[in-house]
Amino acid sequence: MKLEDKQYDFISKEIEIVYNQIDKQRESTTNFLKIYLSIIVGLLTYIYFLENRLLVDGKRISVPNLDFIIFGAFGVLVCFISFIIGWALLDNVTKTVYKSIKYYKHISYMRHIVALTFEEDIFRKNSIIPIRQAKIPMRISKQVPIIGGLINFALLILTYYFFRLFLQSEIAYISTCLILTSISIFYANQLEKHFEEILIADSLIPEKDEIELKKIVSKMVKLQKRKKNYKKTKIIYTILAILVLITSIISLTNLYYNYLPFKTVFNFLPGFFFMISIIPRTYMGIHRLRNIKCFE
């Protein structure tokens, strides 16, 4: 096989363009991360500011205090903004990892075309970087998105601090539990989608159409969700989420009417059921991609 000058130029330009795309994607993620970290630093600085404001003559003002309702509401808003940007960052990381794997594979296959033009396979024998690489090692650990996602989700716990500035601690606690439970229903899908995208990227080769691969994986994921293990886990998770809602309503009404004994126990239950619900929600994510053999 012999390439003409135009073909060499085309392949060189192709590799250059792909490298530029990789750099742009990384730059996008870096900018996202800078914005996210800036907001988190701002949020922690704001808490420090509030703590100083709560101190008068060396004594801490008791909360809840309606004078702090604006400060508390603003803090809750910033928590949500931080979380949403973190969610968008996770989506951006998913796209970056997916495209990086895809682009590096493309470069690998372009180099394979060039390698074929050398006699006695001398290019391949002397190349340190693998050629025609079907599996691209990830530059970040697979655990990084999970850790980052959990840290981002944990930011919502700070809403309890801000709610307590103008609400009773019991109401602040229950409100935080309801927020965490409601958002966790949708947020976990983003982490699951991350690994689904990596599965597709790892399976991409020139002989397979990218769109068709995505359709196949989507179909297999739907089949996984129809399996007994997934359905059972989903039922358990749904029951626990409903229990969070029911116990929250009971606790809130009991705060006003005081018609039930063991008030402290009932106030504790929403958080307890939320923590337990994390277990089936985790297994739902595991079942979603477990034993998928759609590329054999």
Question: Could you please report the per-residue DSSP string of 237-287?
Answer: HHHHHHHHHHHHHHHHHHHHH--SS-HHHHHHHHHHHHHHHHHHHHHHHHH
Give the pLDDT confidence score for residue 245 in this predicted structure: 92
CA distances from 217 to 18, 190, 202, 248 (A): 25, 16, 12, 38
How many Å apart are CA 223 and CA 127, to the nearest integer? 42
Give the pLDDT confidence score for residue 291 in this predicted structure: 62
Per-residue model confidence as pLDDT tens digits over 16-40:
898 898 888 888 888 989 999 999 9
Give the pLDDT confidence score for residue 8 in this predicted structure: 76
pLDDT exceeds cutoff 60 at 188: yes
Q: Tell me what the mean pLDDT of segment 148-164 comes to.
A: 92
pLDDT exceeds cutoff 50 at 294: no
The single-letter DSSP state of residue 292 is -
pTM for this entry:
0.83
Give the pLDDT confidence score for residue 296 in this predicted structure: 40
Mean pLDDT for the chain? Answer: 86
Give the pLDDT confidence score for residue 275 in this predicted structure: 93
pLDDT exceeds cutoff 90 at 237: yes
Give the pLDDT confidence score for residue 49 in this predicted structure: 93
| pLDDT band at residue 295 using 50, 70 and 90 as cut-offs | very low
pLDDT exceeds cutoff 60 at 293: no
Give the pLDDT confidence score for residue 259 in this predicted structure: 63
Alpha-carbon Rg for the chain in angstroms:
26
Q: Tell me what the mean pLDDT of segment 171-197 comes to.
A: 89
Give the pLDDT confidence score for residue 121 in this predicted structure: 79
pLDDT exceeds cutoff 90 at 186: no
